[in-house]
Amino acid sequence: MPELPEVETTVRGLARFLEGERIARIAVNRPDLRRPFPPDLVQVMTGATVTAMGRRAKYGLIHSDRGQTMVFHLGMSGRWRIEPERPEKHDHLVIETGSGHVLALNDARRFGSVDLVATDGLETWGPFADMGPEPLGDALTAAHLRAAFKDRTAPIKQLLLDQSIVAGLGNIYVCEALFRSGIRPDKAAGRVSLAALARLVPAIREVLTESIAAGGSTIRDYAQPTGELGYFATSWQVYGREGQACTCGAPVLRFVQGGRSTFWCRRCQK
């Protein structure tokens, strides 16, 4: 599933072709993805000018001059294709700009979504209403995590995946950040020291920033809007490396938490 760096990479790629552009045509080629397309999407967005692009957690935001924002989620396999040479079967939404750019939202598994939300109501829109701070923003601090984890016995990795505590973190990057900060993933969150959390916050930012610079992590279907593959997977230190040697020489271990694989090093993470 595309995670925060993949969505950020996508948004930055789309911005080069959409920001400041008028949407000359928008075509919806099926009634739904994970849920139906907004019934007024074509009417509202045709002729609108894209004023800015953004991201909230794992959602991409296309702001318009009509006070409406098109919010997209890539689901399991979604990706935007820029200037495609030819239409593909799973191009479910196509945008053409006034200057002739063509962008297609392709989603073979159809777990993605597209919504139309009043721009001034985004913060209180359902999925965003109870989200925690962005991991790349100033609001994510060791003090915030300490307060959120107070008296919690659940494993720290599980709570970092809770979108009400931190918005947008996913399995890959939580595993990598916990490794970099030396925290074992099954440790009770309430027992993690403030000093350890002070290591964790910059580790989260570093791993996300490095992944964005690398174009994200390509897993199965994900590709950047240009069609290029993200290559941060080559920098994974523990994720997906069960049985391989950690940098300390000990084997990387794997176990399942909440239905997701957790990768870690017993020697490096305490």
What is the reported pLDDT for 223? 44
Contact (CB, 8 A) for 62 and 72: yes
Residue 8 CB partners (closer than 8 Å, separation 6+): 55, 212, 216
58 is catalytic: yes
φ, ψ (nearest 5 deg) of residue 7: -70, -40
187 is catalytic: no
Active-site hit among 2, 5, 127, 155: 2
Q: pLDDT tens-digit profile of 117-151?
A: 999 999 999 999 999 999 999 999 999 999 999 99
Q: CA quadruple 44, 46, 52, 58: dihedral positive or negative?
A: positive
Q: Please provide the average confidence, as pLDDT, over all residues in the chain.
A: 93
Q: CA quadruple 240, 241, 242, 246: dihedral positive or negative?
A: negative
What is the reported pLDDT for 2? 80
Active-site hit among 5, 21, 55, 58: 58
Q: pLDDT tens-digit profile of 153-178?
A: 999 999 999 999 999 999 999 999 99
227 to each of 29, 39, 262, how far by Cα in Å?
21, 30, 29
Active-site hit among 3, 6, 8, 176: 3
